[in-house]
Amino acid sequence: MKIVTYNVNGIRSAIGKGFAEWLKAVNPDVLCLQEIKANAEQIPVKLFEEQGYYHYWYPAQKKGYSGVAILTKTKPLNVTYGCGIEKYDVEGRVLRADFDFASVMSVYMPSGTTGDERQAFKMQWLDDFRKYISELRKTHPCLVISGDFNICHKPIDIHNPVSNKNSSGFLPEERAWVDLFLSDGFIDSFRAFNHQPHQYTWWSFRANARAKNLGWRIDYHMTSEVLRECLKSSHILPEAKHSDHCPVLLELNY
């Protein structure tokens, strides 16, 4: 089972940059997308149907903003849109597909880079999301939470931890939240296999950051501890350049 998460920063823009051809080559079983920035009727979904995908879209109410999606070769047993908290669901941040082996979530966590108000929103989200997942695990213990967390966990996950120590996405309280989340019984699946530095999933469009590999690792597959024995491999795929992010691949045996 190959699961890929990818913040495409606009699905229509990504399609214009060869996204569909890339998808055919990688051929994941499940694809979790973030920042689709479009409604389903604006997307040429036949491109995905021709490749054998069922597709589920959860856009934000605000046009051209946020939104998540899941594409899957196996029809889910159930699909749940949102987390049941209106102020987050209007922004299209959570989509879950339940399969017989696990439930896979595409999640786009808020950014706090635009100012204090959105940073406060982000911190409230983090608190509420952790509570939501705690309740969800009572009925869905096998979770794969895939998406853009908008947080670098450790200094190894960011190109310049000293100069970014006061930057949203690397604040002590955000990093501490990841510690708590992992202690709740989750695995940062990429770091289960790879402890090398300079492994990033997002680069600023400014200052030629991607060519210089001045990036941040903010995209994750967080898996329930009960799935540890199923983890086969995880890889960042920086050669995919349809977005300011790149995809992350998780392979599971089940």
Does 179 qualify as catalytic in the annotation?
no
Q: What angle do CA 151, 153, 156 make, to 5 degrees?
A: 120
Annotated catalytic residue: which of 127, 148, 179, 188?
148
pLDDT tens column, 226-254: 999 999 999 999 999 999 999 999 999 98
Q: How many residues does the chain have?
A: 254
CA dihedral 216, 70, 189, 157 (to 10 degrees): 0
pLDDT band, residue 107 (cuts 50/70/90) = very high
Q: Where do runs of H (alpha helix) occur along 65-111?
A: 86-89
Query: Above 90 in pLDDT, residue 14?
Result: yes
- What mean pLDDT do residues 78-87 have? 98
The domain locations on the chain are 2-252
CA gap 247, 13 in Å, rounded = 16
Look at residue 237 in the predicted model and tell me its pLDDT: 98
Q: What is the pTM of this model?
A: 0.98
pLDDT tens column, 49-77: 999 999 999 999 999 999 999 999 999 99
Look at residue 203 in the predicted model and tell me its pLDDT: 98
Which of 53, 55, 46, 42 has its CA nearest to residue 13?
42
Considering the chain, what percentage of its residues have pLDDT values greater than 90? Answer: 99
pLDDT tens column, 199-221: 999 999 999 999 999 999 999 99
CA gap 147, 233 in Å, rounded = 17
Helix (H) or strand (E) holding 25: helix 19-26
52: left (phi over 0), alpha (psi -120 to 50) or beta: left
> Distance between terminal CA atoms of the chain?
8
Look at residue 254 in the predicted model and tell me its pLDDT: 82
- Quick one: 2-252 is in which CATH superfamily? Endonuclease/exonuclease/phosphatase (3.60.10.10)
Q: Which two tokens stand for residue 231?
A: 């983890």
CA gap 247, 14 in Å, rounded = 12
